[in-house]
A and B are shown apart, each in its own frame.
Chain A
């Protein structure tokens, strides 16, 4: 019992000390310059409707979310988080992709051995490459399922028609990003999968041959193709998809937020 009392006093004192340190930190100029009013990291945050609004309004997240959302939008069973998870996977793919870029050279002679070194000689290289590949496949799936979800809820109907169009463009861009990345390991799987894919492209009427040549950089898949697809994969397509994503997210809010319940 005496022990328990002693512990209780110690806990109270420790709690008070932690609180004081927290208050001092939360009130310091550094913290108040980083976190805007209403932030949970500032001193004196209390759970009030005003502060709940401030958390969003004084946060970069205000670009994505309004201060309040419809109650049914919070239910996971309505959206299954598919759109948000597609975006999250895109961020994960960007992070893991940048990591892989440190060790990869898009040339015929080095690409495959670089990937092998990532697998064997780089710390966490294998894990990061695995994550990049599986996240890419998973993202194709989530984007596709997101589209299906939107269709079944009739969420493409006015005023959201144009955002659906942007969504279809985003699906196409996702497939292109995945497909261009498929070639980069420069193994037999990559080479021949891309051969099958690009042969189909060559059958486009009128300008099929030119399109294929422009994409491959030669008549057959070669080192030129590798460089082109690498540039498409790490620069051009991400740049384009980010612009379309920005418009997509902006339109979600401008068109009245998430669509209503059925």
Chain B
């Protein structure tokens, strides 16, 4: 059962008592009796007006109740016990309300003389405060709005231009430069030098310095592993270059390391994968 504030429970009990309804538990009844008469007087004075109006407008058989007074049995699908309750409340509002007002103190009597309009509270409000929900408990306020533009046309136009440019460059390049096709593969005729595709030439270059397991498996494996875990190692939250000099230096060294190795492997390795200068011995490189 949801927690109902104490003051609402008390008000409910007082109204039920004023209407001659059972108040539920006996313990609560004694509690209500302990409540000082002065605080109980004000709600009691308004009680007759509010429930009477509420019942009249409510769909709980208020309209039907007029016809239902002659016929206590269920009418028009409205259960008999609801009709019964409606009649009892009407009786309480008409007969029981007057003595309660008379018994109340003088200020309360003044309000009874000029009762507030139906469906309003003592101060004339039309709403009732049930509970206070702290801000943030059910809704979150986002950060300030970002400066945004429509994807169409701003972004799509840029993308379209970029794809067109790349297509044009690729088309022209392919029309001019032919992809290599050497003689038929022959297992018995090893070309000298034999080179891997360019993006693996850094690894092939490492092969000249390390054992194949280190150059071909350990180093590239470590490289990929470090790339994968990089965001979990780098705990610095700032994306600003001035805050991450170390990370940027390290990555630049990583890039230069591979770039230099690939360039050496591509252009500075000749027959027997020996070091050569391309301007002396020519280029041993196919894409």
Contacts and interface: CB of A to CB of B under 8 A. Distances in A.
Interface stretch (B10-18, B84-92, B115-123, B236-244): B236-244
B209 interface: no
B217 A200 contact: yes
A196 interface: yes
B217 A130 contact: no
A254 interface: no
Given A135-B170, A259-B239, A189 B230 contact: no
Given A137-B198, A187-B185, A131 B255 contact: no
Interface-centre pick from B146, B211, B238, B286 (highest chain A CB count, 10 A) = B146
B279 interface: no
A208 B152 CA distance: 51
Q: Tell me which of B150, B238, B255 has the highest count of chain A C-beta atoms within 10 A of its own C-beta.
A: B150
B138 interface: no
B179 A262 contact: no
Given A115-B181, A187-B181, A203-B216, A49 B147 contact: no
B177 A130 contact: yes
Given A81-B159, A115-B181, A134-B170, A68 B150 contact: yes
B46 interface: no
Given A152-B251, A262-B239, A68 B148 contact: yes
A74 B239 contact: no
Contact of A130 (B146, B154, B174, B207): B174
Q: Is the interface of A mostly helix, strand, loop or mixed?
A: helix
B108 interface: no
Interface footprint category on A: 35 or more
A247 interface: no
A119 interface: yes
Contacts of B251: 148, 151-152
A200 B203 contact: yes
Nearest to B179: A133
Contacts, number: 202
B231 A71 contact: no
A65 B194 contact: no
Interface residues of B, number: 72
Contacts of A262: 239-241
Contact of A153 (B167, B178, B190, B239): B239
A228 interface: no
Contacts of B9: none
A10 interface: no
Interface stretch (A27-35, A154-162, A233-241): A154-162
Contacts of A156: 230-231, 234
Given A69-B149, A69-B155, A197-B196, A130 B287 contact: no
Nearest to A111: B185
A192 B203 CA distance: 15
B282 to A, nearest CB: 17
Interface of A: 49, 52-53, 55-56, 61, 65-74, 76, 81, 84-85, 88-89, 92, 112, 115-116, 119, 126-127, 129-135, 137-138, 140, 147-148, 151-158, 160-161, 164-165, 168, 171-172, 175, 178-179, 182, 185-193, 195-197, 199-201, 203-205, 208, 220-221, 259-260, 262
Interface of B: 146-156, 158-159, 162-163, 166-167, 170-171, 173-175, 177-187, 189-191, 194-200, 203-204, 207, 211-213, 215-217, 224, 227-228, 230-232, 234, 236-241, 244, 247-248, 251, 255, 286-287
25 contacts: A55-B152, A67-B150, A68-B148, A74-B158, A81-B159, A81-B162, A84-B159, A85-B163, A88-B163, A92-B170, A131-B170, A134-B174, A148-B255, A152-B248, A154-B247, A164-B230, A185-B181, A189-B180, A189-B191, A191-B185, A192-B195, A195-B194, A196-B204, A200-B212, A220-B187
